[in-house]
Structure 1
Amino acid sequence: MAPLTLGFLMDPLEKVQVGHDSTFQMMLEAHRRGHTVRYFEQGWLRYSGTCAEARMRTVAVRNEVGRHFDVLEEEVRPISSLDVLFMRKDPPVDVDFLHATQLVELCSGKPPVYINSPRGIRDANEKLFTLNFPDLMPETCVSREREVLIDFIRKHPGGTILKPIDGFGGKGIVFVGPEDRNMRSLLELLTTQGHEPIIAQAYVPQSRQGDKRIILVNGEPLGAVLRVPSEDDHRGNMAAGGKPIKTTLTEREKHICARLKPKLLEHGLLMVGIDTLGDFLTEVNVTSPTGLAEINALDGVCLEAHIIDLAERLAARR
């Protein structure tokens, strides 16, 4: 097919981890196929009076630590000049992030194909979206009220996981038992003295064997990696020191993926990373899910090829 122009709204390209960053894996594949690759940061977005535009850098990328990209051109361009826009800004999903998802939709010309849909990203909080599937989740409570949370914790003798709604990379996730003397202080800290709701979730003992990141593209599972926590931590996130281990999908996990597919496609969430613990769904990651490089290395595959294939098919329809 004719070369496309693929844009990536992301964090600074200078800071990506070559060999780990999933966004960079997709950029490499797009560049390998001869597509024009442009990237811009959230702060480079603006509205010109007729449409959204951004200062964009056209780049050549290479899989080489320390010199992984060259800037070929830098110019302000309208968002509609892109055939595909990958929304890959890392969390937190704060007010600036939400404003960016609104700006990129203001196209005077034909809008690009969005992966993922800005509206879908706004609607699908990575922790709260799972509440649409209560039968797939561990028992869960969302509240800012201390006594409500204490009551939930005390009903679960095996322990409770507490996590901030807008957390990412394992940050702020704590384990608490029903007799923990730090319980009230932890709740005060995590809820900011009762001003912010948090998630309390029944502890799943299988978490010691690791949580599983499953990559779904167009609603279909393409690969998975087991993330095993270190001996002195309860978090399997690779950003928190979890070790990636080769794995396959269980029948239960295939069922979870099938249940999620219609809802994901309804919201235009075409590249998603879900997390499972044992038989339970715990998160649906839609902003910038990671895991491509680890799955590729463990399974000898190239998941980003499937993602760029999808981008090409959708751009052809555009």
Structure 2
Amino acid sequence: MAALTFGFLMDPLESVRVDHDSTFALMLEAQRRGHQVRYFEQPWLHFNGSRAEARMRTVTVRREPGRAFDVLAEALQPLSELDVLFLRKDPPVDAEFIQATQMVELHNGRAPVFINNPTGIRDANEKLFGLRFPELMPETLIARDMAQLSRFVASHPAGTILKPVEGFGGQGIVFMQPGDRNLRSLLEVLTLGGRKAIVAQAYLPESRQGDKRIILVDGEPCGAVLRVPSQDDHRGNMAAGGTPVKTTLTAREREICARLKPSLQERGLYLVGIDVIGDWLTEVNVTSPTGLVEIDKLDDSNVEAKVIDLAERLAGSRK
């Protein structure tokens, strides 16, 4: 097809790990097909009174640590010049992140294809969205009341996972058992003295074998990786030291994907990474889900090609 202009709202390209970063893999695939690749950071985005604009860099990229990209051009450009815009800023989903998802919709002209849709991103908190499907989730409490949280921990003898609602990359995830004398103090810290809600989730012993990241493209599972925690940690996140292991999907996991698909498609959430432990969905990641590079290596596949295929179809139908 004719060359398109792909934009990526992301973290600084200088800090990208070329052997791991899923956004970088998407950029490489778009470039391989002859599309123009532009990127910009959240602080470079603004609204000028009539439309959203950003200082964008047109780049060439290569999988070489230390010299991963060259800047071909840098200019202030309206978002309406883009055919596709990947919103790939890493969490946390804070006020500035939410403002950015609102600002990119102020295109005042032809809108780019968004992957993912800004409204869908705002609607699908990664810790909370799965609770729309309680039959798929382990027992979960969202609360800031320390007495209520303490009762939840006491009622789960196998243990409880505590984590921040806006957390990412395994940060701030704590395993707690009934009777732990640190509980009250820990809850004070996590809830900021009862001012901030947190997630309390029944511990799943299967997590010792790993949690599975499944990548969905337009609601369809396109690959998975099992993330196995180290012996001295309970977190399987690769950012927290988990080891990626080759895996396949079970019938239950395919059932989970099928249940989520209509809701994801309805919200324009085209590239999603769900986390499954045993038979249970634990998170639905929609901001900048990772795992593409690891799946490619383990399965000798090309998940990013399926994403770019979809982007091309969506851009073509829009034209």
TM-score, normalization: structure 1?
Answer: 1.00
Q: Does 1:160 align with 2:160?
A: yes
Q: Percentage identity across aligned positions?
A: 69
In the alignment, what sits opposite 1:102?
Answer: 102
Which contiguous aligned blocks of 4+ residues in structure 1 show a shift greater than 2 angstroms? none
In the alignment, what sits opposite 1:309?
Answer: 309
Shift of 1:193: 0.3
Give the secondary structure class of the aligned counterpart of 2:106.
coil
Structure 2 gaps of 5+ residues are none
Amino acid at match of 1:23: T
Distance 2:137 2:79 in 1: 38
Distance 1:99 1:58 in 2: 24
In the alignment, what sits opposite 2:47?
Answer: 47
Shift of 1:64: 1.1
In the alignment, what sits opposite 2:191?
Answer: 191
In the alignment, what sits opposite 2:143?
Answer: 143
- Report Cα offsets for 1:178-221 as digits up to 9, x if no partner: 11111101110100100000000000000000000000000000
- Report Cα offsets for 1:76-118 as digits up to 9, x if no partner: 0001100000000000000000000000000111100000000
Aligned length: 318
Q: Does 1:37 align with 2:37?
A: yes
- Report Cα offsets for 1:157-192 as digits up to 9, x if no partner: 110000000000000000000111111011101001
Distance 2:108 2:188 in 1: 47
Shift of 1:48: 1.3
In the alignment, what sits opposite 2:22?
Answer: 22
Where in structure 2 are the equivalents of 1:46-195 lying within 5 Å? 46-195=46-195
Amino acid at match of 2:10: M
In the alignment, what sits opposite 1:255?
Answer: 255
Structure 1 gaps of 5+ residues are none
Distance 2:68 2:168 in 1: 26
Distance 1:29 1:140 in 2: 39
- RMSD across aligned positions (CA): 0.4
- Report Cα offsets for 1:247-280 as digits up to 9, x if no partner: 0000000000000000001111000000000000
Give the secondary structure class of the aligned counterpart of 2:108.
coil
Where in structure 2 are the equivalents of 1:232-271 lying within 5 Å? 232-271=232-271
- Report Cα offsets for 1:268-313 as digits up to 9, x if no partner: 1000000000000000000000000000000000100000000000
Distance 2:241 2:196 in 1: 27
Shift of 1:19: 1.1
Amino acid at match of 1:101: T
TM-score, normalization: structure 2?
Answer: 0.99
Distance 2:202 2:48 in 1: 49
Q: Does 1:285 align with 2:285?
A: yes
